Structure 1
Amino acid sequence: MIRMGLFNSPILQKKGVSWMNEGGTVIFRGTACFGAGSVIKIGSNQRAVLEFGNNFGNAIAVNIDCNYSIILGNNVRMGWDTIIMDSAMHRLKTSNGNYTGRGYEKVVIGDDNWITTKCIVLPGVKTPNKCVIATNSLLNKDYSNYPEYSLFAGIPAKHIKTGIWRDINDNNIKYE
């Protein structure tokens, strides 16, 4: 089942879901739930592929801009106002007028990742399984050589520690 526009929040007054597929392919490997205020765009590149693993979910206002390749693993969760993009939309030139870099790279988010609120995931990012990305972090490289159960935080995100993750099947908080 694919659900869109669920999880309205009185804190963030975002409504609806915007879905734009200009020519690429979207693959759902199972269930997915998109919170209110989300924008999913697949660009006009006919080879663009956006893949959602089983049990994808975001709270509110995820923005995914796929022009090349974005693969989200199983049980990926995203917090409010998260951005994932596989293209810079523009190419840079050196001072002598030559292009530098391609301007796009594949993004691969591992299984059981929790990307928290207001994170930005840039082209070329790869994450290990079972990791947490702290609030307001900017991911800008391949982190896949770090171990599972890792915490990344900062601008740009750095490996902070190993040995933690979010179990989406056990979200109990006991307030005292």
Structure 2
Amino acid sequence: MIRSSYRKLRSFYHKLKFYYSVNWTKTLYFNFKKFPFEIAKKLPVFFYNKVTFTSIRGEIIIEGKIKKGMIGFGQPYEINTRHKGIAEINITGKMVFKGHAQFGKDYFVFIGENGYCEFGNMAAMASNAKLICIEKIVLGNYVQLGADSQIIDTNFHDMIDTNTGEKRKKTGPVFIGNYNFSGSRISIMKNTKTPDFCTIATNSFCNKDYISWGNNILIGGIPAKLIRENISRDWEGEKDELDKFLTI
């Protein structure tokens, strides 16, 4: 009986601690500001700890079955437990979620006025993530990107060919395949395309189309090169536990 009571108390403590970490002011404001009442009352988007809404006038779309907390900004699912309190949201374009999605702590999300960003089901970016979308960024299902990773689809500034005077396009779409997995501190830049079941090594710089290299590959380096074929994270072995771990 004592052991059973202890388990119940521990479970209650963990739930209380979890819900205490939710920024209820920002969570309620965002949901009822961006969604029809029937969706908003289910609170599909949770914000955790401090976050600045620089702008949320863009369009937010959730496809599929709506569930409470299915999208988490600042979600506490990593080893590190402390927030710096620098999370920022600036969405003036369109952001589409195809299911559950998670951002770790201290993220920066910018979707420009003409930008389109899509997150597949169970896509996640860990702590200190930076996502800047001016044109188009699409993450497939079960994309798991490590801490300090960034996805940026623009050079920000115009570049020219000094011989011809030709101006180079400063934006380019990014497409990340299904079941992609990365280490920390990776940079995914404009015109990057990765195949399904692609693993990206820590400290890598991606800036081109890697799809022709086939599925189940490991790429890495600055810029990224093919390191190994016929290798993948054990998605089938981890999938059930991953689903439980990342959903509330």
Q: Specify the TM-score bucket, using the shorter chain as the normaliser.
A: 0.7 to 0.9
Equivalents in 1 of 2:94, 2:106: separation in Å?
22
- For 2:82 and 2:149, the matched residues in 1 are separated by 13
How far residue 98 of structure 1 moved from its aligned partner, in angstroms, is 2.9
For residue 121 of structure 1, what is the aligned residue in structure 2? 188
Match for residue 90 of structure 2 among 6, 9, 20: 20
1:132 aligns with 2:199: yes
Verify the 8 A CA contact 1:91 1:99 in the aligned structure 2: no
1:5–1:16 CA contact under 8 A, matched in 2? no
| Distance in 1 (alpha carbons) for counterparts of 2:182 and 2:102 | 15
* SS of residue in 2 equivalent to 1:145: helix
Tell me, which stretches of 5 or more residues in structure 2 are unaligned?
1-69, 242-248
| Match among 83, 87, 99 for residue 30 of structure 1 | 99
- TM-score normalised to the size of structure 1? 0.88
Corresponding position of 2:110: 41
Q: Deviations over 1:100-131 (max 9, x none)?
A: 32111100000000122000001000000001
Pairing 1:82–2:149 present:
yes
The question of whether the paired residues in 2 share the 8 Å contact of 1:27 and 1:50 is answered with yes
Q: Are the counterparts in 1 of residues 179 and 198 from structure 2 also a CA contact under 8 Å?
A: yes
Counterpart amino acid of residue 157 in structure 1: A
Matched, 1:4 2:87: no
CA RMSD of aligned residues (A): 2.0
The match for 2:170 is: 103
Q: 1:18 to 1:100 in 2, by over 3 A?
A: same
Secondary structure, in 3 states, of the residue corresponding to 2:211?
coil
> Offset of 1:18 from its aligned partner?
1.6
CA contact (8 A) 1:14 1:61 kept: no
Report what 1:159 is aligned to.
226
What is the identity percentage for the equivalent residue pairs of Structure 1 and Structure 2? 34
Q: Distance in 1 between matches of 2:101 and 2:86?
A: 16
- CA drift of 1:147 comes to 1.1
Q: Number of paired residues?
A: 169
Larger Rg belongs to: 2
Unaligned runs of 5+ in 1: none
Q: Deviations over 1:54-112 (max 9, x none)?
A: 01122211100000000000000010100101111111123368343211110000000
Q: 2:109, 2:182 → 1: CA distance? A: 17
Structure number with higher strand proportion: 1
More helix by share: 2
TM-score (norm 2): 0.63
Give the AA of the match of 1:19: I
Amino acid at match of 2:203: N
